Amino acid sequence: MNNYVIETKNLTKKYKNPIVLDSVSIKVEKGKIYGLLSKNGAGKTTTMSIILDLTRPSDGEVRLFGVDSKDNPQVYSRIGSIIETPGFYYNLTGFENLRILAELRGNYSEKNVKKALKIVSLDNENKKLVKHYSLGMKQRLGIAAAIMDFPELLILDEPINGLDPVGIQDMRKLFKDLTNEYNMTIFISSHILSEIDLKLLNVGFR
């Protein structure tokens, strides 16, 4: 029995004539950090959107946690994600934003929200409104929103895009901590290999 958290087979997406994805096959093992690396416009976000069932493929298969995701929609409750730029209420604090999001999901836990903020080092920013956050803080708040249910799989679309070198270094450490301490599998995309760093990744893709 394999230990793949994500498997895609010949994943294809077409919009009339343009082919956005052409027979993409991926295998992501449990408990690892995997990078989806390619230039802008190569289909990284489309691939992740199909995996998350936000976009339908024209052809191909997706298996999550060893089962066909099409027939087992409950598997999505085991996944946290950020696709493109996370949206927040800028006139609220980070905690207030996460509380609202958790309430909308129907599983609010003050303990989990506080723990997620601590993991991303935003636990000392209780009174600061999101409109006063730096880009790095907003990115970390997005990750807190994705992990506050402590998922088994974390899918992150360009989470370090636009960060300065210190912010990138902080993100690398955070990814390692999530994998080592919480056994999360992380599937991350980027268009700049040097930002991701091969030392962080188990596999560099494309």
Q: What is the pLDDT of residues 42-63, one digit of tens each?
A: 788 899 999 999 999 999 999 9
Cα-Cα-Cα-Cα dihedral sign, residues 116, 119, 124, 129 = negative
Q: Please name the residue that has the structure tokens 């298996």.
A: 63
- Please compute the mean of the pLDDT values over residues 8-35 and round it to a whole number: 88
Predicted local distance difference test score (pLDDT) of residue 111: 94
The strand order across the sheet containing 19-29 reads 19-29, 4-14, 59-64, 67-68
Please name the helix (run of DSSP H) or strand (run of DSSP E) that holds residue 46, with its range, or none.
helix 44-51
Higher pLDDT, 7 or 41: 7
pLDDT digits (tens, 9 = 90+) for 151-191: 999 999 988 877 778 888 888 888 889 999 999 999 998 87
- Please compute the mean of the pLDDT values over residues 23-33 and round it to a whole number: 90
Please name the helix (run of DSSP H) or strand (run of DSSP E) that holds residue 52, with its range, or none.
none
Q: Grade residue 73 by pLDDT with cuts at 50, 70 and 90.
A: confident
Predicted local distance difference test score (pLDDT) of residue 199: 47
